[in-house]
Structure 1
Amino acid sequence: MEVCHVATAAHQSSHSMSVSDDAARTLATVTKSVPQMDTLTPRWLVHLLAWVPVEAGIYRVNQVVHPESVQIKCDNYDESPLADTFIDYERDPREYRLKAVQTVLDVHTRVSDLYSSPHDQVAQQLRLTIEAVKEHQEGELINSPEYGLLASAAPRQRIATMTGPPTPDDLDALIAKVWKQPAFFLTHPEAIAAFGRECTRRGVPPATVSLFGSQFLTWRGLPIIPSDKVPLEHGKTKILLMRTGESRQGVIGLFQPALEGEQGLGLSVRFMQIDRSAIASYLVSLYCSLAVLTPDALAVLDDVEVDKFHDYSPTYR
C-alpha cells in the first residue's frame, strides 16, 4: 500500500514561508476615511460675526443725520427755558439685499446605489459642496465689491502702515479708529507671522488667547484672527479691525431664516430632480450679506508688507 505524503512549502524549504502581505490584504477590510479637501479653512470670521435674520431679503440701515446739532443743556439756576431739540433721520437710507451663493450638485443614481458603503456617496458629495460654498461665502464677506468689508470701509477709516511690516504702532492706530468696543483684528496668516516677528524684534511678544479651542495672538487684548481670504498680492496685504453686533452699532452678518431644506444660517439643500439619464440633482443655496452699521465700526490698514523679498501672487479673487 502506497502512502501519499503532502509536503508543504515549509517542509520543502529550510526557510520559513508564509502568505505574502499583498495576498493577505485581498482578504482584509480596509478602513476608509471620508474625502479630505485641503482647501477648507476654519472660517473664523463667520463664527465671530453677529448674525441677524432678514425678512424678505432686505435690511435697511437707518442713520441719524447731523447728530452734532442735537442741543443738550444742563439745568439753569435762573430757571430759563431749556433747549428744544429733535433728531432727524436720513430720507433715503441704504438697503442691503441678500446675495445668493448657489451651485447644483449632480450625482448618478448608480453611484449612490452601488458605492455608498461604508460612506454615503450623496451625503459626502453634499458635505464637500456645502463646505466649498461656505468657503466662498467668507471670501465674499471680505472681498465683495457690493457689501464686503474692504469695500465698506469709509475713506477716513483707512490708514497706511508707518514702516511697511505691521508693527504694534500700526495696530494701535487701528484701535484709535475703532476705539468703541473693538472686537477683533482680521488679516492674512502671513501678516500675523510678520507682526509676530516685529513684536519679537521690539521685545514685546504678544499674548495669546484661546477661542474655539484654538490659540490666537492678541494685541491690547484683542485677538488677531487669520483668514486666507484677505487678499495678499506682491507681498502686501491688509489688516482689519472691527466692532461687531447690532446693539453696538457694529458689523453684522445678514441671513435669510426659515428656508426650505435649511442646513444652517441662510443655507439650504433641495432635491431638484432625477433626469432621464438617471442623474440626481441637488440645489445648494446660501443667502447672506454684511452691513457696517456706523462708519467707525470698521478700519483698514493698507499696504501691509509681509516679506519684502518675496513676490506673492494673489491668494483670492
Structure 2
Amino acid sequence: MTFSASDAPQLALGDVAARQLANATKTIPQLETISPRWLVRLLHWLPVEAGIYRVNQVRDASEIEVACSSRDEADVPETFVDYIENPREYFLSAVNAVVDVHTRISDLYSSPHNQIREQLRLTIEIMKERQENELINNPEYGLLNNVAPSQIVQPRGAAPTPDDLDELLTKVWKEPGFFLAHPQTIAAFGRECTRRGVPPATISLFGTPFITWRGVPLIPSDKVAVVKGKSKIILLRVGESRQGVVGLYQPNLPGEQGMGLSVRFMGINRKALASYLVSLYCSLAVLTDDALAVLDNVDVTQYHTYRYE
C-alpha cells in the first residue's frame, strides 16, 4: 500500500489557515496614469485675480528712434512707444468634477485608508493630468496652438537630430528654458546622438536625471502626442520677466487645496450621498512670439543599424 503526501498527518498549522489571523498591509489605490507633470512644475505661474490676463504689446519696435549722445543737442530724435490697441486677453479655463461618496461607505470602510480622502486624491490626480494636457493641446491657449508660423521648424531628416534642435535654439535663443517632448521622441533623439558619436550630457532636476542639448534639458511628457509614429518637440522660454511663457491660475478660492485648485463640500442628499465639488482653474499665455518654437513632424520610430568593427 502506498501513501501520498496529502495522506500524511498534519504536524503544524498550515499557511492558508494561519493567514486568516493575519492583517494584510494595504496600499492606497495605485493609478497608472499618474505622471510627473514636469511642465506644470517648470512653468512660472501667475495669479489672475479676476480670471482675465491681458498681454499688452508694443505695436512696432522698428519705428522707435533713439540716438547716441551728441555734442549737438538738436540732433536728439523725438519718439514715442506705441501699443497695440486690441491686445489679446486670456481667460481661465475650468476643469470640474463632482465626487459622490455614500455615507455608509465612508462610515464603515475608512480604515486604514479614508475613503473620502482617497476618492478626492485620485480625482485630483486625474484632473491634474488633464490640466497638463490642456496646457499643451488646448485649441485656444495650448502651446501647440499658439506657435507663430515663423517659429515652426521642419526636420532635416526623419528622426530628430542635433541639427534640428540647434535650429530650434535659433528661434528661442534668448534664455531658452527647456525642450518638451514625448519620451519616445527623446529616445529617438538619443539614438541619433549616439549614432553621430555625440552622446548628450545629463543634468539633475528635482532629483531626476534629464538629458540635455547645448545645456538645455529635454523634459518628457506623454501629453505631446505620437500619431502614426510622428510627434513634435517644443522649445520654450518661461517667465514674465523674460517675456516668455507663463501659467495662469485663480488664487484665493474657497476650499483652496493648491494652486487654482479647490474642493468644496456640497452636502448630503436624501439618498445619503455626500458630494464634493473639485475645481481646477488654469490657462497659459505666450507673451512674445519668440518665446515658443516647435520642431514639427519628427519620426520617433526610425532605428539605425550599428556596425561594430
Q: Distance in 2 between matches of 1:229 and 1:107?
A: 30
Asked if 1:59 is matched to 2:53, the reply is yes
User: TM-score, with normalisation over the residues of structure 1?
Assistant: 0.92
**Partner of residue 41, structure 1:** 35
Whole-Å separation in 1 of the counterparts to 2:12 and 2:167: 72
Q: 2:126 aligns with which of 110, 132, 138?
A: 132
Number of the residue aligned with 2:96: 102
What residue in structure 2 maps to residue 312 of structure 1? none
Structure 1 residue 273, shift from structure 2 partner = 1.7
Mapped partners of 1:277, 1:148: distance in 2: 41
1:125-164 maps to which residues of 2 (within 5 A)? 125-164=119-158
Which residue identity lines up with residue 193 of structure 1 in the other structure? Answer: A
Residue 137 of structure 1, CA deviation: 0.1
Q: Distance in 2 between matches of 1:302 and 1:164?
A: 11
Equivalent residue for 1:280?
274
What SS does structure 2 have at the residue aligned with 1:204?
Answer: coil
Deviation of residue 20 (structure 1)?
Answer: 1.2
Residues in 1 aligned to 2:107 and 2:177: alpha-carbon distance in whole angstroms: 49
From 55, 64, 70, give the equivalent of 1:70: 64
Does residue 1:82 correspond to 2:87, yes or no? no
- The residue that corresponds to 1:50 in the other structure is 44
Change (3 A) 1:215 1:18: same
| Aligned residue identity for 2:223 | K
**1:16 CA drift (Å):** 6.3
Which of 220, 230, 236 is the matching residue for 2:214? 220
Output the CA distance in 2 between the equivalents of 1:173 and 1:213.
29
The amino acid that maps onto 1:142 is: I
Show CA shifts across 1:197-224 (max 9, x none).
Answer: 0000000000001001101010000110
Count, aligned residues:
297
Per-residue CA deviations over 1:63-93 (Å, capped at 9, x if unaligned) read: 0001111101112234433001100001011
| Residue 195 of structure 1: aligned partner | 189
Between the aligned partners of 1:212 and 1:79, the Cα distance in structure 2 is 55
Q: How does 1:170-185 map to 2 (within 5 A)?
A: 170-185=164-179
Residue in 2 that maps onto 1:206:
200
User: Which aligned pairs between 1:224-243 and structure 2 lie closer than 5 A?
Assistant: 224-243=218-237
- d(CA) in 1 for partners of 2:24 and 2:74? 90
Q: Partner letter of residue 276 of structure 1?
A: R
Q: What is the deviation of 1:15? A: 6.3
Greater Rg by CA: 1
Match in the other structure for 1:250: 244
SS, match of residue 50 in structure 2? helix
Structure 1: distance between partners of 2:87 and 2:126: 34
Once residues 72 and 125 of structure 2 are traced to their aligned partners in structure 1, the CA distance between those partners, rounded to angstroms, is 69
Deviations 1:3-44 (A, max 9, x none): xxxxxxxxxx98661111111010001110000000100000
Looking at structure 2, the residues matched to 140 and 121 of structure 1 have their Cα atoms a distance apart, in angstroms, of 29
Query: Unaligned stretches of 5+ in structure 2?
Result: 1-6, 304-309
SS at match of 1:135: helix
Q: Which amino acid aligns with 1:73?
A: A
The residue type equivalent to 2:111 in the other structure is S
The amino acid across from 2:197 in the alignment is G
1:294 to 288, 291, 298: 288
Alignment of structure 1 residues 10-29 onto 2, 5 Å: 17-29=11-23
Q: Separation in 2 of the partners of 1:242 and 1:71? A: 30
Local SS of the residue matching 1:175: helix
TM-score (norm 2): 0.94
Distance 2:124 2:72 in 1: 69
Write the letter of the residue equivalent to 1:132.
Answer: I
For 1:135, the aligned partner's letter is E
Aligned to 2:25: 31
Structure 1 residue ranges (4+ consecutive) displaced by more than 6 angstroms after TM superposition: 13-16
Equivalent AA in structure 2 for residue 267 of structure 1: L
Report the identity percentage.
64
- Does 1:261 pair with 2:255? yes
Q: Distance in 2 between matches of 1:120 and 1:270?
A: 17
Q: What residue in structure 2 maps to residue 8 of structure 1?
A: none
